[in-house]
Structure 1
Amino acid sequence: MNVSTPSASSAPSARPSGRAATALVLAGTGRTGSRLAARLTARGLTVRTAARRGADVPFDWDDPATHRPALAGADRLYLVPPVMRVDYAGQVAAFLDLAEHEGVRHVTYLSAYGIDRAAPQVALRAVELDLAARGSLSHTVLRPAWFMQNFSETFLKPMDDVITVPTGDGAEAFVDAEDIAAVAAATLADPDAHAGAAYALTGPEALTVGRAAGIIADVTGRPVTYRDIDRDEWIRHTVAAGVPAAYGAMLRTLTETVAAGLGSRPTGDVEKVTGVPPIPFTAFARRTARAWR
């Protein structure tokens, strides 16, 4: 289980004295950010969402002029790194320098399952190590498995009732973005209780993509099936569709890991943090059935 024990005694206070708790949520219109913002608001925190468009404040990783205004007054941060990229550790480090200067005292970082075993130069892991080295920030790392929402929103969504991806008979403990948001909300609402922790977030069962396709077929009444594909061919198609070539290489690694039987396996971390068992894929599929009809 990819979990480290919180160490609140060595962590700085999440909020300077006399300062109201304000959470800045990066990617605030995204799959986890939008869900997280609603949960934090329900907990009574002041929340500011940030994204290139449609959020409370504009935020663009490639436009440093948007960074300081987004951070103003925030003492805690939900950090989502740049998407569709593989070389951003320096960019995130500069932003964290600014966040420290502006008074942020806790960061909850959206990483990925198994990244603790990656080489230090891999960007996701490099950011984890950077956070661990910062003495004036406490931090919590979230390492989720593949999102269930990939089946309804991104690269696992059925096309003509077929899910095509090179994962073979390998299984993955897909996790609902609602559970990721619930864990993130707990860590940002009470940073001291989760300082120094790393949580591997999964669903309650490991499923092959073929089994997931069968569940979608059951709840929708559509003949949804899974088709394996040559990995090189699949990568060529994804790059041709606009995915950067460097990110295509990352997708190769991710699908190879699952196909080799080394995909994520269920952990108890969602329930450990929230007190509620993780959402099963069947429940997600029933809730999401309209997306496939």
Structure 2
Amino acid sequence: MIVVTGASGQLGGRVAARLAEAGEQQRLVVRDPARAPALAGAEVAVAEFGDPDAVRRALDGAGTVLMVSASETPDRVDRHKAFVDAAVAAGAGHLVYTSFFGAAPDAVFTLARDHWATEEHIRASGLPFTFLRDNLYADFLPFLVGDDGVIRGPGGDGRAAVVAQDDIADAAVAVLRDPAAHTGRTYDLTGPEALSFADLAAILTTSTGRAVTYHDETLAEAYASRAKYGAPDWQVDAWVSTYTAVAAGQLEAVSTAVADLTGRPATPFRG
């Protein structure tokens, strides 16, 4: 039994659909059963990461579990740890975790530190594991463009090897269908090239027919331009540090992992 968490979301939903197409039996773990996709060979379980009893029930009999990282909250690491502990208690056979590229305790991108803490807890749990460290989602980049056609952030001339969610899903399915071959492995999932924000703006201009430009903000400008959203400090730090991590060169390395796992080249960003 393959268990897919976050099955009502963009990434988990892609993985679940691919497993169904391949004829795999799976259990979809969601918070709202009304949003669970209707797929052949799939049953549905309801659980939230921070509810250990519900997670244990949802993972009962699980061979391999795809743990799609939880939504961003101040207590996300605690929720992740609770899920991992429940997976151990449920007797899960293998945990595949969607982490972040360059996860480290001192990563510039603040949320990459959360992923590192989660990875360390998984390692300490004794569960067989595979980590999929995703670069920035290429699918999200169009949403960085403001109403005035400008991408704003302190990214400098740094580059990121942005990756398509379809590529991540294909890589995840390859691991889920043959977990033993990937035990203890960490895969950096990237696109085929590293692009600057100026590059991304130019590609979006071509693909949309709308002029898109990039404004390299100072840190002060970055915090000021995001103040209007009224978000908590930790969230604003995460938004800004997405750009500063790129500026620091921490997201620029290109990996062959997508091709190695899927047997096809990674998808270029085309907007």
Counterparts of 2:257 and 2:187 in 1: how far apart (Å)? 6
Report the AA paired with residue 149 of structure 1.
Answer: D
Counterparts of 1:24 and 1:244 in 2: how far apart (Å)? 33
Structure-2-length-normalised TM-score: 0.85
> Paired residue for 1:261?
249
Q: After TM superposition, what 4+ stretches of structure 1 lie above 6 angstroms from structure 2?
A: none
Q: 1:76/1:217 Cα in 2 relative to 1: closer, same or farther (>3 Å)?
A: same
Deviations 1:138-164 (A, max 9, x none): 110011111101114x4x244332222
> Paired residue for 1:90?
78
Counterparts of 2:104 and 2:21 in 1: how far apart (Å)? 32
Secondary structure at 1:272 match in 2: helix
Counterparts of 2:206 and 2:187 in 1: how far apart (Å)? 32
Q: Where does the alignment leave 5 or more consecutive residues of structure 2 unmatched?
A: 37-43
Deviations 1:10-54 (A, max 9, x none): xxxxxxxxxxxx222222222211111111122222222233331
List aligned pairs for 1:1-293, cutoff 5 A.
Answer: 22-53=1-32, 54-55=35-36, 56-64=44-52, 66-116=54-104, 118=106, 122-135=113-126, 137-152=127-142, 154=143, 156-238=144-226, 240-241=228-229, 243-282=231-270, 285=271
- Asked if the contact 1:112/1:124 (under 8 Å) is kept, the reply is yes
User: Larger relative contact order (C-alpha < 8 A, sep ≥ 6)?
Assistant: 1
Deviations 1:155-210 (A, max 9, x none): x2443322222212211111101111111111111100111100011101111111
Report the AA paired with residue 114 of structure 2.
Answer: A
Counterparts of 1:214 and 1:182 in 2: how far apart (Å)? 28
Counterparts of 1:242 and 1:44 in 2: how far apart (Å)? 46
- Asked if the contact 2:102/2:251 (under 8 Å) is kept, the reply is no
Q: CA deviation at 1:234?
A: 2.6
Secondary structure at 2:87 match in 1: helix
Identity of aligned residues (%): 35
The aligned length equals: 258
Q: CA deviation at 1:118?
A: 3.9
Q: CA deviation at 1:275?
A: 1.1
> What's the Cα RMSD here?
2.3
Counterparts of 2:176 and 2:240 in 1: how far apart (Å)? 33
Q: 1:67/1:113 Cα in 2 relative to 1: closer, same or farther (>3 Å)?
A: same
- Comparing 198-207 and 237-246, the one that deviates more: 237-246
Counterparts of 1:73 and 1:254 in 2: how far apart (Å)? 38
Q: 1:165/1:139 Cα in 2 relative to 1: closer, same or farther (>3 Å)?
A: same
